[in-house]
Amino acid sequence: MTAARLYPLLLVVPLAAIVMMLPAGVMDDGPGYLIEDGGHALVAGLALVLLVAGLAMPDKGGRIVSTAALGAAGFLAGLLLLLRLHEGLGFRWNGAAAWTVLLLICGLLWVTMERLSALPGRITMILVPAVFGGMLVYFWEIFTVGFAVPQILLPAPSVIYATFMADLATLWVDFEQTYIRSAVPGFLMGCGAGFLTAVAIDRSPFLQRGLLPLGSLVSAMPIVGIAPIMVMWFGFDWHSKAAVVVVMTFFPMLVNTTAGLQAASAMEHDLMRSYAASYGQTLVKLRLPTALPHMFNALKLNSTLALIGAIVAEFFGTPIYGMGFRISTEVQRLNVDKVWATIAVAALAGSISYGLLALLERKTTFWHPSQRKANT
């Protein structure tokens, strides 16, 4: 056995010593975990078995199984450490065992992530960011609980999740007001206006010298300055927030679409001329397909800008619901868990929007070199 294979096996001894020395038992007023007393030893033993199996399995022919075993060992060790932290073990006092186990968990997760990223296939393309995101949430929980961080500074993910489930109805009303009624209409109007203006610039070059500088001027205006003006013009309902979103999304779509329409090569233009193609035919069959990657870049960027603009605009006037209203109100009341629950909804909505646009981009621009590279 080589030294590279022997070195990871040395981790079994400290992992066995540290995990098995963790005291058992769950407090009566604890979080209500199902693992009790003997279950701690069972989880520790199972983690060790999976660790040994994952390290001892040969690379050829069993890489996927060994990666799954190492990932499961890290998950069980992390679960056991999380249980002990909720039972009162901390990093500040008598935390040598916790720190050692945490370092070993980091090593297992590192190896698992490296092996997962090396595996081909679309499943790993989804699994790797999912595991990495779950790892970040786990470390967030570990450090907030282990260091007893005050909730007013940074609540643990478990607290945020409990608040999310308790205020689900209120969060849905806020989501509907901010995202569905403000961000989505503003996104569609802003991107549509930017696209039509880009086509007009492509048809009439003098507009490029006149509109692009004005567009850059508008995009440089701070949102905190635009939002109060829009509230005065359009009122406190969703119209003013959609107007702010239009201002934020117009210029990125204009610039990217204009660049995309000019991305076709001279040889391609000469080919269209040789076919006696009109401007409309050239636009539909050459320029727009060439501009699609640039347009999707703008759409993905605007999908996050739209939500940010709608939330910030609600700070300056809105009905008694909305994500921005909820954040500003609950911060003043020091209900930080509700603020983070609202932030989680916004982050989830923005991520899903971005992901759907990325999926649509892959389906419509499969011919582009970047997409062909991603699919291999």
CB 186 within 8 A of CB 241: yes
Indicate whether 28 pLDDT > 70.
Answer: no
Indicate whether 361 pLDDT > 60.
Answer: yes
Question: pTM score, two decimals?
Answer: 0.73
pLDDT tens readout for residues 222-278: 777 787 888 888 877 788 888 889 888 888 898 888 888 877 767 766 676 777 777
DSSP one-letter string for 245-279:
HHHHHHHHHHHHHHHHHT-S-HHHHHHHHHTT--H
Give the residue, 97 or 31, on which the prediction is more confident. Answer: 97
Percent of the chain with pLDDT over 70: 72
CB 262 within 8 A of CB 202: yes
Q: How far apart (Å, rounded) are the C-alpha atoms in residues 343 and 233?
A: 28
Give the CB-side neighbour count of residue 262, counting CA atoms within 13 A: 14
Both tokens assigned to 298:
């703008």
Both tokens assigned to 256:
């990217």
Give the residue, 47 or 349, on which the prediction is more confident. Answer: 349
Tell me which residue has tokens 């999908």: 303
pLDDT tens readout for residues 95-129: 566 677 777 777 777 777 777 777 776 777 777 78
Q: Report the CATH number of the 165-375 domain.
A: 1.10.3720.10
